[in-house]
Structures are given as C-alpha cells and as structure tokens.
Amino acid sequence: MRYLIGNWKMNPESDEKAVELARSVEQGVAGIEKVTTIVVPPYPFLGAVHAVLDRTLLGAQDVFWEESGAYTGEVSAHELREVGVRYVIIGHSERRAMGESNVVVNKKLRAVLEEELIAVLCVGESKEIRVKGTTAAQAFVKQQLEDSMKGIKNWKSGIEDNVIIAYEPVWAIGTGEEDDPQDAATMTRFIKQLLVTNYGLRVAVLYGGSTDAANVAGYIETGIIDGVLVGGVSLKADEFIAMARNIERAREVEK
C-alpha cells in the first residue's frame, strides 16, 4: 500500500472550510485504489471532518501520553479514537522545535500503540547535520529512532501495521527545497534496515518535505519510499488529489 498524508497544521480558519476541504479530498480520491489517503486537521475540526469522510482516513497532529485526568489542554489517544482518528503524527519537527524531546516522543508512541492506533513517527536531520554528509545524517536519525522507540522491541502485540516512519529532513519542510529522491531513498533503506535489525519490524517509510504533484512520483518510483507526508499542498484540494493520482500511477523502477 502507498500512503498520502496531508498535515493541515493550524489551518484552515473555520470548521466550514475544514469540512469543504475534506469533502473535496473525499470526492477527488474516489477510484484511487492503491493509495491510503489520510487528512490530518487541527483538533477542533476532527469530529466535523470525520463525519464527511468514508474512504479517506482521519489523523491527528499530536497526542498526550496519559489516559485521562488533570492535564489541562491535552488530548489522549483514547479521546482521539473516539472522534474517529486512526493515525497520529508524533514528533513532527515543528513540535520538536517547540521543545519536544525523544523521551516525550517515546511516551506518545507507547500511548498510541496501547490504543491500537497507527503512529506516524517523524524523524529527520537539520541542515547543519546534513551538510556533514550521509553518515552524519544517518547517525542522527538512528539516535532519534532508537530513543523514540525505546521499549518497543518486546511489545505485547504485533505492531508492524501500527508504526509508520516519516523521514522528514527539517531543512526540506515548507522551504520548497525538497530532498533528492535518491538521497531520500538511501535514508529510507537505512531506516528500514535499522528497524528490521533492532525491532524485527518491516514498516512503511514515507518521505516528507516540499513535495507536490510535480515531484511526488519521483519518490515512489525509487521503489523503496512508501508514500509522502505533505504540509502546504494538503490545503489545496486539487493539487493534493493530483498527488494521490500521481502516487497511484507512479511505476516503481528500482527496488
């Protein structure tokens, strides 16, 4: 299966606009079979958006790790499930920039797995690290993954289908400077190998960072990248739908 995940971030500005966008996506992806399309609105719009979705699935942008109680402003994995959420983004670089550590990401991952939701765990290096070369970038991503996935190895139930990794080099997010598909493929291969070696997990790995309808096929055609996590373009229904179509049509040329 290939994935297209649209992270709406703190957009749009009203519940009507959120529903309108969700409706357009839902209609636009009709007939697209090979792509799991997921929209990820802000918390206040989750319920209204869920009500107009059918083949499109619902995601959340964050989660809190406790089950319930006196945690003002936080939302639990169970509460997310109650409003129809199936996918939860964890450790997005914009949250990490606000101080979210790998320790916190690990707690959130465990909460999502406990609730049997699907975690979209984001990792990725900064420009400062990337310019040092592939080895430095891989070492950074390895550390992020190992710290974020602590304690997952002997998890009680099978979690292969409940973890997706999104490789999002920080310097490529929202900048228009996307990673070269072959470089993203090299990192994806590294991540997949690491997860098999460390945890015995064969998981989907997505790329994220300035993807659009024009460049998305290049990532899928590497034959190793399983889809994309999209920010900016996910707010433009027509282009987002075109991305879904281009992902479906992309022919894998290299394994």
Q: Which residues bind ligand PEP (CB under 6 A)?
A: 7, 168, 173-174, 208-211, 229-232
In the bound state with ligand PEP, the residue whose beta carbon lies nearer, of 106 and 211, is: 211
Report how far residue 129's alpha carbon sits from residue 34's, in angstroms, rounded to the nearest whole number: 35
Catalytic residue among 26, 50, 92, 125: 92
Nearer to ligand PEP, 201 or 230 (CB): 230
Is 168 annotated in the active site? yes
Catalytic entry in 79, 94, 168, 178: 168
- Per the CB < 8 A criterion, the answer to whether 25 and 7 are in contact is no
Partners of 165 in beta bridges: 121, 205
d(CA 247, CA 232): 17
Question: Based on CB atoms, which residue is closest to ligand PEP, 76 or 96?
Answer: 96
Strand partners, 123: 167
The nearest distance, CB 231 to ligand PEP, in angstroms, is: 2
Annotated active-site residue 94? The verdict is no
Name the minimum Å distance from CB 37 to ligand PEP.
Answer: 15
Name the CA dihedral angle for 39, 124, 98, 153, rounded to a multiple of 10 degrees: 80
Question: What tokens were used for 253?
Answer: 């040329």
Residue 7 CB, nearest approach to ligand PEP (Å): 5
Is 32 within 8 Å of 248 (Cβ atoms)? yes
Nearest to ligand PEP of 86, 236 (CB atom): 236
Q: What is the DSSP string of 107-144?
A: HHHHHHHHTT-EEEEEE---HHHHTT-HHHHHHHHHHH
Residue 223 CA, chain-centre distance (Å), reads: 18
Catalytic residues: 92, 168
